[in-house]
Protein backbone atom coordinates (compact mmCIF):
# COMPACT_ATOMS: atom_id res chain seq x y z
CA UNK A 1 0.00 0.00 0.00
CA UNK A 2 1.94 2.97 -1.22
CA UNK A 3 0.62 6.50 -1.18
CA UNK A 4 1.04 7.99 -4.63
CA UNK A 5 4.03 10.30 -4.65
CA UNK A 6 3.40 13.94 -5.26
CA UNK A 7 6.73 13.94 -7.03
CA UNK A 8 5.27 11.99 -9.91
CA UNK A 9 3.37 15.15 -10.81
CA UNK A 10 6.09 17.73 -10.25
CA UNK A 11 4.89 20.24 -12.76
CA UNK A 12 1.35 20.31 -11.40
CA UNK A 13 -0.27 22.78 -9.07
CA UNK A 14 -2.60 21.59 -6.27
CA UNK A 15 -5.79 22.75 -4.64
CA UNK A 16 -5.23 23.25 -0.94
CA UNK A 17 -7.82 23.61 1.77
CA UNK A 18 -6.95 24.94 5.21
CA UNK A 19 -9.43 24.72 8.02
CA UNK A 20 -9.25 25.17 11.79
CA UNK A 21 -12.55 24.75 13.57
CA UNK A 22 -13.55 24.69 17.22
CA UNK A 23 -14.57 21.38 18.70
CA UNK A 24 -15.77 20.15 22.06
CA UNK A 25 -12.95 18.45 23.96
CA UNK A 26 -15.38 17.16 26.60
CA UNK A 27 -17.33 15.02 24.13
CA UNK A 28 -16.03 11.57 23.19
CA UNK A 29 -13.48 12.04 20.42
CA UNK A 30 -15.21 9.67 18.06
CA UNK A 31 -18.65 11.21 18.35
CA UNK A 32 -17.13 14.66 17.96
CA UNK A 33 -15.25 13.71 14.80
CA UNK A 34 -17.85 11.46 13.17
CA UNK A 35 -19.69 14.36 11.56
CA UNK A 36 -16.42 15.53 10.04
CA UNK A 37 -15.77 12.15 8.48
CA UNK A 38 -19.36 11.74 7.34
CA UNK A 39 -19.04 14.99 5.42
CA UNK A 40 -15.67 13.99 3.97
CA UNK A 41 -17.01 10.62 2.85
CA UNK A 42 -20.14 12.21 1.39
CA UNK A 43 -18.41 14.90 -0.68
CA UNK A 44 -14.83 13.85 -1.47
CA UNK A 45 -15.98 11.40 -4.12
CA UNK A 46 -13.22 10.77 -6.64
CA UNK A 47 -10.48 12.22 -4.44
CA UNK A 48 -11.44 10.36 -1.26
CA UNK A 49 -8.31 9.29 0.66
CA UNK A 50 -7.89 5.52 0.84
CA UNK A 51 -5.01 5.26 3.31
CA UNK A 52 -4.73 6.46 6.92
CA UNK A 53 -1.36 6.86 8.57
CA UNK A 54 -0.54 7.07 12.26
CA UNK A 55 2.66 5.31 13.14
CA UNK A 56 1.56 2.66 10.66
CA UNK A 57 -0.41 2.80 7.42
CA UNK A 58 -3.88 1.31 7.17
CA UNK A 59 -6.67 1.19 4.63
CA UNK A 60 -9.06 4.07 5.21
CA UNK A 61 -11.88 3.32 7.64
CA UNK A 62 -13.14 5.33 10.57
CA UNK A 63 -11.82 2.70 12.96
CA UNK A 64 -8.40 2.95 11.30
CA UNK A 65 -8.45 6.71 11.79
CA UNK A 66 -9.25 6.46 15.52
CA UNK A 67 -6.45 3.98 15.79
CA UNK A 68 -4.03 6.30 13.97
CA UNK A 69 -4.84 9.24 16.25
CA UNK A 70 -4.42 7.06 19.29
CA UNK A 71 -1.16 5.63 18.01
CA UNK A 72 0.30 9.07 17.50
CA UNK A 73 -0.62 9.76 21.11
CA UNK A 74 0.07 13.50 21.15
CA UNK A 75 -0.92 15.08 24.44
CA UNK A 76 -1.45 18.64 23.30
CA UNK A 77 -1.47 18.10 19.56
CA UNK A 78 -2.24 14.83 17.88
CA UNK A 79 -2.79 14.07 14.23
CA UNK A 80 -2.85 11.55 11.43
CA UNK A 81 -2.20 11.57 7.69
CA UNK A 82 -4.61 10.61 4.93
CA UNK A 83 -3.39 9.76 1.45
CA UNK A 84 -4.52 8.26 -1.81
CA UNK A 85 -2.85 5.42 -3.67
CA UNK A 86 -4.43 6.48 -6.98
CA UNK A 87 -4.73 9.58 -9.13
CA UNK A 88 -5.54 12.31 -8.19
CA UNK A 89 -3.09 12.37 -5.30
CA UNK A 90 -4.12 13.54 -1.86
CA UNK A 91 -1.94 14.74 0.99
CA UNK A 92 -4.16 15.41 4.00
CA UNK A 93 -3.61 16.09 7.66
CA UNK A 94 -6.24 15.78 10.35
CA UNK A 95 -5.02 17.19 13.64
CA UNK A 96 -6.44 18.09 17.04
CA UNK A 97 -5.17 20.83 19.32
CA UNK A 98 -6.05 19.62 22.81
CA UNK A 99 -6.43 21.34 26.21
CA UNK A 100 -4.75 23.26 27.76
CA UNK A 101 -4.52 24.73 24.23
CA UNK A 102 -7.76 26.11 22.81
CA UNK A 103 -9.26 22.94 21.31
CA UNK A 104 -9.34 23.06 17.53
CA UNK A 105 -9.77 20.66 14.69
CA UNK A 106 -6.88 21.26 12.27
CA UNK A 107 -7.32 20.25 8.64
CA UNK A 108 -5.00 20.60 5.65
CA UNK A 109 -5.90 18.95 2.35
CA UNK A 110 -3.93 19.08 -0.89
CA UNK A 111 -5.37 17.51 -4.01
CA UNK A 112 -3.17 17.30 -7.09
CA UNK A 113 -3.48 18.17 -9.93
CA UNK A 114 -5.39 21.40 -9.59
CA UNK A 115 -6.82 20.80 -13.07
CA UNK A 116 -8.96 18.09 -11.47
CA UNK A 117 -11.07 21.00 -10.25
CA UNK A 118 -11.95 22.39 -13.67
CA UNK A 119 -15.27 20.61 -13.40
CA UNK A 120 -18.01 22.71 -11.85
CA UNK A 121 -19.84 19.81 -10.21
CA UNK A 122 -16.70 18.56 -8.48
CA UNK A 123 -16.03 22.07 -7.24
CA UNK A 124 -19.61 22.40 -6.03
CA UNK A 125 -19.18 19.24 -3.95
CA UNK A 126 -15.97 20.67 -2.53
CA UNK A 127 -17.77 23.87 -1.54
CA UNK A 128 -20.60 21.90 0.05
CA UNK A 129 -18.05 19.97 2.05
CA UNK A 130 -16.50 23.17 3.39
CA UNK A 131 -19.94 24.59 4.11
CA UNK A 132 -20.93 21.53 6.13
CA UNK A 133 -17.67 21.54 8.11
CA UNK A 134 -17.79 25.26 8.85
CA UNK A 135 -21.40 24.92 9.99
CA UNK A 136 -20.49 22.18 12.44
CA UNK A 137 -17.06 23.43 13.62
CA UNK A 138 -16.96 27.24 13.80
CA UNK A 139 -13.89 28.83 12.24
CA UNK A 140 -12.13 32.17 12.38
CA UNK A 141 -11.06 31.79 8.76
CA UNK A 142 -10.84 28.90 6.31
CA UNK A 143 -9.94 28.86 2.63
CA UNK A 144 -9.18 26.78 -0.43
CA UNK A 145 -7.01 27.93 -3.32
CA UNK A 146 -4.22 27.09 -5.76
CA UNK A 147 -1.02 26.35 -3.85
CA UNK A 148 1.16 28.20 -6.37
CA UNK A 149 -1.00 31.33 -6.27
CA UNK A 150 -1.21 31.16 -2.48
CA UNK A 151 2.60 31.20 -2.33
CA UNK A 152 2.77 34.22 -4.63
CA UNK A 153 0.18 36.05 -2.54
CA UNK A 154 2.66 36.33 0.33
CA UNK A 155 0.56 34.06 2.57
CA UNK A 156 0.53 33.47 5.44
CA UNK A 157 2.54 36.51 6.55
CA UNK A 158 1.24 39.05 4.03
CA UNK A 159 4.17 41.33 4.75
CA UNK A 160 4.12 40.91 8.53
CA UNK A 161 7.00 39.47 10.52
CA UNK A 162 6.69 35.92 11.84
CA UNK A 163 5.96 36.96 15.38
CA UNK A 164 3.12 39.27 14.37
CA UNK A 165 1.68 36.63 12.07
CA UNK A 166 1.77 33.98 14.80
CA UNK A 167 0.03 36.32 17.22
CA UNK A 168 -2.60 37.86 14.94
CA UNK A 169 -3.22 35.18 12.31
CA UNK A 170 -5.66 36.11 9.54
CA UNK A 171 -7.07 39.07 11.48
CA UNK A 172 -8.15 41.06 8.46
CA UNK A 173 -8.94 40.25 4.88
CA UNK A 174 -5.43 40.19 3.46
CA UNK A 175 -6.56 38.11 0.52
CA UNK A 176 -9.71 36.68 -1.04
CA UNK A 177 -9.24 33.10 -2.18
CA UNK A 178 -11.37 30.96 -4.45
CA UNK A 179 -13.27 29.53 -1.48
CA UNK A 180 -13.43 31.43 1.81
CA UNK A 181 -15.16 31.10 5.15
CA UNK A 182 -15.01 34.17 7.36
CA UNK A 183 -15.63 33.74 11.08
CA UNK A 184 -17.91 36.08 13.05
CA UNK A 185 -15.05 38.38 14.05
CA UNK A 186 -13.95 38.98 10.47
CA UNK A 187 -17.59 39.37 9.44
CA UNK A 188 -18.13 42.02 12.12
CA UNK A 189 -14.92 43.82 11.17
CA UNK A 190 -16.23 44.26 7.63
CA UNK A 191 -19.88 44.65 8.62
CA UNK A 192 -22.29 41.77 8.09
CA UNK A 193 -24.45 43.63 5.56
CA UNK A 194 -21.46 44.71 3.56
CA UNK A 195 -20.01 41.22 3.53
CA UNK A 196 -23.28 39.64 2.47
CA UNK A 197 -23.51 42.06 -0.45
CA UNK A 198 -20.05 41.12 -1.79
CA UNK A 199 -20.07 40.61 -5.57
CA UNK A 200 -19.21 36.91 -5.86
CA UNK A 201 -20.57 33.71 -7.31
CA UNK A 202 -21.84 32.56 -3.95
CA UNK A 203 -22.19 34.37 -0.62
CA UNK A 204 -24.01 32.63 2.16
CA UNK A 205 -24.50 33.23 5.85
CA UNK A 206 -24.12 30.06 7.90
CA UNK A 207 -26.32 29.39 10.96
CA UNK A 208 -23.37 29.97 13.33
CA UNK A 209 -22.66 33.43 11.97
CA UNK A 210 -19.81 32.51 9.62
CA UNK A 211 -20.02 33.64 6.00
CA UNK A 212 -19.13 31.39 3.08
CA UNK A 213 -17.86 33.21 0.00
CA UNK A 214 -16.96 31.58 -3.33
CA UNK A 215 -15.59 33.85 -6.06
CA UNK A 216 -16.25 31.55 -9.02
CA UNK A 217 -17.83 28.17 -9.83
CA UNK A 218 -14.45 26.54 -10.55
CA UNK A 219 -11.10 26.55 -8.76
CA UNK A 220 -8.73 25.49 -11.52
CA UNK A 221 -9.08 28.61 -13.72
CA UNK A 222 -8.16 31.01 -10.92
CA UNK A 223 -5.58 32.73 -13.14
CA UNK A 224 -8.03 33.60 -15.94
CA UNK A 225 -8.92 37.24 -16.51
CA UNK A 226 -12.51 36.58 -15.50
CA UNK A 227 -11.44 34.90 -12.27
CA UNK A 228 -9.01 37.71 -11.42
CA UNK A 229 -11.69 40.32 -11.99
CA UNK A 230 -14.04 38.44 -9.68
CA UNK A 231 -11.30 38.07 -7.08
CA UNK A 232 -10.34 41.75 -7.21
CA UNK A 233 -13.96 42.95 -7.04
CA UNK A 234 -14.69 40.80 -4.00
CA UNK A 235 -11.45 41.86 -2.31
CA UNK A 236 -11.91 45.61 -2.65
CA UNK A 237 -15.54 45.29 -1.62
CA UNK A 238 -14.41 43.67 1.63
CA UNK A 239 -11.46 46.05 1.95
CA UNK A 240 -12.65 49.46 0.78
CA UNK A 241 -9.24 50.85 1.75
CA UNK A 242 -7.70 48.97 -1.21
CA UNK A 243 -7.56 50.33 -4.73
CA UNK A 244 -9.24 48.15 -7.34
CA UNK A 245 -6.77 48.73 -10.14
CA UNK A 246 -3.78 48.07 -7.87
CA UNK A 247 -5.30 44.84 -6.59
CA UNK A 248 -6.16 43.72 -10.11
CA UNK A 249 -2.70 44.57 -11.41
CA UNK A 250 -1.08 42.47 -8.68
CA UNK A 251 -3.35 39.55 -9.47
CA UNK A 252 -2.61 39.82 -13.19
CA UNK A 253 1.11 39.81 -12.41
CA UNK A 254 0.63 36.61 -10.47
CA UNK A 255 -1.25 35.07 -13.38
CA UNK A 256 1.57 36.07 -15.71
CA UNK A 257 4.15 34.49 -13.39
CA UNK A 258 2.20 31.24 -13.38
CA UNK A 259 1.31 31.06 -17.08
CA UNK A 260 2.77 27.86 -18.53
CA UNK A 261 5.99 28.40 -20.47
CA UNK A 262 7.16 25.81 -22.99
CA UNK A 263 10.76 24.77 -22.23
CA UNK A 264 13.18 25.54 -25.09
CA UNK A 265 16.48 24.89 -23.36
CA UNK A 266 19.87 24.79 -25.02
CA UNK A 267 20.14 21.12 -26.11
CA UNK A 268 23.56 20.62 -24.47
CA UNK A 269 22.21 21.38 -21.03
CA UNK A 270 18.50 20.61 -21.44
CA UNK A 271 18.60 17.42 -19.31
CA UNK A 272 20.32 19.30 -16.49
CA UNK A 273 18.07 22.36 -16.62
CA UNK A 274 14.94 20.18 -16.67
CA UNK A 275 15.99 18.64 -13.41
CA UNK A 276 16.76 22.00 -11.89
CA UNK A 277 13.31 23.21 -12.93
CA UNK A 278 11.75 20.16 -11.25
CA UNK A 279 13.54 21.16 -8.09
CA UNK A 280 12.19 24.68 -7.74
CA UNK A 281 8.96 25.49 -5.95
CA UNK A 282 5.79 25.26 -8.00
CA UNK A 283 5.17 29.01 -7.93
CA UNK A 284 8.66 29.68 -9.32
CA UNK A 285 8.62 26.97 -11.95
CA UNK A 286 7.36 28.92 -14.98
CA UNK A 287 9.64 31.89 -14.33
CA UNK A 288 12.56 29.50 -14.04
CA UNK A 289 11.66 27.90 -17.37
CA UNK A 290 11.47 31.34 -18.98
CA UNK A 291 14.82 32.29 -17.46
CA UNK A 292 16.45 29.11 -18.79
CA UNK A 293 14.86 29.55 -22.22
CA UNK A 294 16.69 32.86 -22.45
CA UNK A 295 19.92 31.41 -21.04
CA UNK A 296 22.75 30.59 -23.40
CA UNK A 297 25.22 28.48 -21.42
CA UNK A 298 28.63 30.12 -21.89
CA UNK A 299 30.97 28.56 -24.42
CA UNK A 300 33.56 26.48 -22.51
CA UNK A 301 36.92 28.21 -22.41
CA UNK A 302 38.97 25.50 -20.66
CA UNK A 303 40.72 24.17 -23.76
CA UNK A 304 43.57 24.81 -26.21
CA UNK A 305 44.09 23.69 -29.78
CA UNK A 306 45.82 20.31 -29.76
CA UNK A 307 48.88 21.75 -31.48
CA UNK A 308 49.54 24.17 -28.64
CA UNK A 309 49.12 21.55 -25.90
CA UNK A 310 51.70 21.55 -23.14
CA UNK A 311 53.87 18.47 -23.35
CA UNK A 312 53.85 16.17 -20.35
CA UNK A 313 56.43 17.22 -17.75
CA UNK A 314 56.13 14.31 -15.35
CA UNK A 315 58.69 11.58 -14.99
CA UNK A 316 56.26 8.72 -14.66
CA UNK A 317 53.12 9.37 -16.75
CA UNK A 318 51.60 6.05 -15.74
CA UNK A 319 51.81 6.99 -12.10
CA UNK A 320 50.28 10.37 -12.81
CA UNK A 321 47.36 8.71 -14.59
CA UNK A 322 46.88 6.41 -11.61
CA UNK A 323 46.77 9.43 -9.39
CA UNK A 324 44.05 11.01 -11.55
CA UNK A 325 42.14 7.78 -11.35
CA UNK A 326 42.48 7.79 -7.57
CA UNK A 327 41.27 11.41 -7.37
CA UNK A 328 38.30 10.58 -9.58
CA UNK A 329 37.43 7.71 -7.28
CA UNK A 330 37.19 10.17 -4.39
CA UNK A 331 34.27 11.78 -6.19
CA UNK A 332 32.66 8.36 -6.51
CA UNK A 333 33.13 7.92 -2.76
CA UNK A 334 31.48 11.25 -2.04
CA UNK A 335 28.54 10.88 -4.42
CA UNK A 336 27.64 7.22 -4.83
CA UNK A 337 24.89 7.08 -2.22
CA UNK A 338 22.98 9.99 -3.72
CA UNK A 339 24.09 9.52 -7.32
CA UNK A 340 24.38 5.78 -8.03
CA UNK A 341 25.25 6.45 -11.70
CA UNK A 342 28.56 7.98 -10.60
CA UNK A 343 30.04 4.47 -10.73
CA UNK A 344 29.49 4.35 -14.49
CA UNK A 345 31.49 7.44 -15.51
CA UNK A 346 29.25 8.19 -18.49
CA UNK A 347 28.01 11.57 -19.82
CA UNK A 348 24.76 10.89 -17.96
CA UNK A 349 26.76 10.53 -14.74
CA UNK A 350 28.10 14.05 -15.32
CA UNK A 351 24.57 15.43 -15.57
CA UNK A 352 23.58 13.62 -12.38
CA UNK A 353 26.62 15.02 -10.61
CA UNK A 354 25.90 18.54 -11.92
CA UNK A 355 22.35 18.33 -10.64
CA UNK A 356 23.32 16.94 -7.24
CA UNK A 357 25.85 19.68 -6.56
CA UNK A 358 23.26 22.26 -7.59
CA UNK A 359 20.56 20.64 -5.49
CA UNK A 360 22.79 20.62 -2.43
CA UNK A 361 24.03 24.16 -3.05
CA UNK A 362 27.42 22.57 -2.49
CA UNK A 363 29.72 25.54 -3.24
CA UNK A 364 27.95 27.66 -0.61
CA UNK A 365 27.50 25.04 2.08
CA UNK A 366 31.04 23.75 2.51
CA UNK A 367 34.23 25.44 3.55
CA UNK A 368 36.02 27.05 0.66
CA UNK A 369 39.33 25.61 1.75
CA UNK A 370 38.00 22.04 1.61
CA UNK A 371 36.29 22.64 -1.70
CA UNK A 372 39.47 23.94 -3.31
CA UNK A 373 41.74 21.35 -1.77
CA UNK A 374 39.60 18.24 -2.08
CA UNK A 375 36.45 18.66 -4.17
CA UNK A 376 37.99 20.49 -7.14
CA UNK A 377 40.75 17.86 -7.76
CA UNK A 378 38.24 15.00 -7.47
CA UNK A 379 35.78 16.64 -9.85
CA UNK A 380 38.47 17.62 -12.37
CA UNK A 381 39.89 14.11 -12.39
CA UNK A 382 36.44 12.57 -12.74
CA UNK A 383 35.60 14.83 -15.69
CA UNK A 384 38.92 13.91 -17.31
CA UNK A 385 38.22 10.21 -16.83
CA UNK A 386 34.81 10.52 -18.45
CA UNK A 387 36.41 12.22 -21.47
CA UNK A 388 39.02 9.47 -21.66
CA UNK A 389 36.57 6.63 -21.40
CA UNK A 390 33.72 7.89 -23.51
CA UNK A 391 35.40 10.05 -26.14
CA UNK A 392 38.63 8.11 -26.56
CA UNK A 393 40.53 10.92 -24.88
CA UNK A 394 44.09 10.67 -23.58
CA UNK A 395 45.57 12.23 -20.42
CA UNK A 396 48.56 14.48 -20.96
CA UNK A 397 49.84 14.55 -17.38
CA UNK A 398 51.48 17.60 -15.83
CA UNK A 399 53.07 18.24 -12.48
CA UNK A 400 50.49 20.89 -11.72
CA UNK A 401 46.91 19.60 -11.71
CA UNK A 402 45.63 22.81 -13.28
CA UNK A 403 47.85 22.16 -16.31
CA UNK A 404 46.83 18.52 -16.76
CA UNK A 405 45.12 18.01 -20.11
CA UNK A 406 42.92 15.51 -21.84
CA UNK A 407 43.40 15.28 -25.58
CA UNK A 408 40.18 14.70 -27.50
CA UNK A 409 40.33 15.17 -31.29
CA UNK A 410 41.87 18.52 -32.13
CA UNK A 411 41.55 20.04 -28.66
CA UNK A 412 43.14 19.53 -25.29
CA UNK A 413 40.78 20.08 -22.36
CA UNK A 414 41.75 21.35 -18.91
CA UNK A 415 39.39 19.47 -16.59
CA UNK A 416 40.89 20.77 -13.34
CA UNK A 417 40.50 24.38 -14.48
CA UNK A 418 36.90 23.63 -15.37
CA UNK A 419 36.32 22.11 -11.94
CA UNK A 420 37.65 25.23 -10.25
CA UNK A 421 35.39 27.51 -12.26
CA UNK A 422 32.50 25.12 -11.66
CA UNK A 423 32.81 25.12 -7.86
CA UNK A 424 32.92 28.90 -7.48
CA UNK A 425 29.15 29.33 -6.90
CA UNK A 426 25.78 27.69 -7.39
CA UNK A 427 25.23 29.63 -10.61
CA UNK A 428 28.69 28.58 -11.77
CA UNK A 429 27.60 24.95 -11.54
CA UNK A 430 25.24 25.74 -14.41
CA UNK A 431 27.54 28.15 -16.28
CA UNK A 432 30.48 25.76 -16.15
CA UNK A 433 28.55 22.49 -16.06
CA UNK A 434 30.44 19.26 -16.65
CA UNK A 435 27.59 18.26 -18.96
CA UNK A 436 28.16 21.20 -21.27
CA UNK A 437 31.91 20.74 -21.51
CA UNK A 438 31.41 17.08 -22.39
CA UNK A 439 28.94 17.90 -25.18
CA UNK A 440 31.25 20.46 -26.74
CA UNK A 441 34.23 18.11 -26.47
CA UNK A 442 32.12 15.44 -28.15
CA UNK A 443 31.44 17.73 -31.11
CA UNK A 444 35.13 18.56 -31.49
CA UNK A 445 36.20 14.95 -31.37
CA UNK A 446 37.10 15.24 -35.01
Partner 1 sequence: MLEKQRPSPDAPPPGAEGNPRWGEYVAYYEKRLGEIKQGKAAKAPLRWTPYEQMWGWFARGLAFERLMVALLEADAKLPRAQRRFLGAFHKPLIQRYVGVKKLESGLRYADVLIIEEGELAGGPPRVETWSFKSRNLSGLKGPALVAQMIEDAMEALQKYGETLDIRRDSLQPLLRGDSKVPVQRVHLVYEGGTLKPADVRELKAAVNRARSEVPGVEVLFQ
* Residues lying near partner 1 in the complex (CB under 8 A): 3, 6-7, 16, 18, 53, 72, 74-83, 91-93, 95, 97, 101, 106, 108, 110, 147, 150-151, 155-157, 162, 165-166, 280-282, 325-326, 329-330, 332-334, 336-337, 343, 359-362, 364-367, 370, 373-375, 378
Q: Which residues of 209-236 are buried (b: 16+ CB within 10 A; e: fewer)?
A: ebbbbbbbbbbbbbbeeebbbbbbbbbb
Q: Do the Cβ atoms of 114 and 9 come closer than 8 Å?
A: no
Rounded to the nearest whole angstrom, what is the least distance from the CB of residue 291 to partner 1 in the complex? 17
Rounded to the nearest whole angstrom, what is the least distance from the CB of residue 400 to partner 1 in the complex? 21
Nearer to partner 1, 122 or 283 (CB): 283
Rounded to the nearest whole angstrom, what is the least distance from the CB of residue 26 to partner 1 in the complex? 20
Rounded to the nearest whole angstrom, what is the least distance from the CB of residue 75 to partner 1 in the complex? 7
Nearer to partner 1, 249 or 319 (CB): 319
For 288-440, where are the E strands, in sequence order?
A: 303-305, 394-396, 405-408, 411-413
Nearer to partner 1, 374 or 444 (CB): 374
Nearer to partner 1, 167 or 249 (CB): 167
Nearer to partner 1, 110 or 202 (CB): 110
Nearer to partner 1, 308 or 337 (CB): 337
Q: Using alpha carbons only, what angle is made at residue 197 by residues 118 and 254, rounded to the nearest 5 degrees?
A: 45
Rounded to the nearest whole angstrom, what is the least distance from the CB of residue 326 to partner 1 in the complex? 8
What is the Cα–Cα distance from 316 to 338, expressed in whole angstroms? 35
Rounded to the nearest whole angstrom, what is the least distance from the CB of residue 81 to partner 1 in the complex? 3
Residue 18 neighbours by CB under 8 Å, 6+ apart: 107, 108, 142, 143, 144
Residue 399 neighbours by CB under 8 Å, 6+ apart: 313, 314
Residue 160 neighbours by CB under 8 Å, 6+ apart: 168
What is the Cα–Cα distance from 178 to 217, expressed in whole angstroms? 9
What is the Cα–Cα distance from 76 to 100, expressed in whole angstroms? 7
Q: Torsion angle of alpha carbons 347, 8, 153, 257, nearest 10°?
A: 50
Residue 123 neighbours by CB under 8 Å, 6+ apart: 117, 217, 218, 219
Rounded to the nearest whole angstrom, what is the least distance from the CB of residue 388 to partner 1 in the complex? 13
Nearer to partner 1, 176 or 236 (CB): 176
Rounded to the nearest whole angstrom, what is the least distance from the CB of residue 68 to partner 1 in the complex? 10
What is the Cα–Cα distance from 74 to 213, expressed in whole angstroms? 34
Nearer to partner 1, 102 or 199 (CB): 102
Q: Do the Cβ atoms of 183 and 140 come closer than 8 Å?
A: yes
Amino acid sequence: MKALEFHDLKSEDSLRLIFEGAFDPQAARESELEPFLQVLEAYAGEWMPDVVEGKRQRKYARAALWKALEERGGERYTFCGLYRTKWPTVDMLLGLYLPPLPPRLDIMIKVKPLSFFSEAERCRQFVEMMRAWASRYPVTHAAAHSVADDQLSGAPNFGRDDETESRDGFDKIYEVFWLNVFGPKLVESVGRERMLSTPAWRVEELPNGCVLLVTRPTAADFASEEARLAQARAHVHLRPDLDFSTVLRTLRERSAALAPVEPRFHPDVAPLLSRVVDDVAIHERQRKIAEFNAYPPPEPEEWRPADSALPSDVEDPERAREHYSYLAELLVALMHTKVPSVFDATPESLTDVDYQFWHEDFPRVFERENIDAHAVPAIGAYLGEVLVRNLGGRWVPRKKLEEAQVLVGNRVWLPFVRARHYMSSRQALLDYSLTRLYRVAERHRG
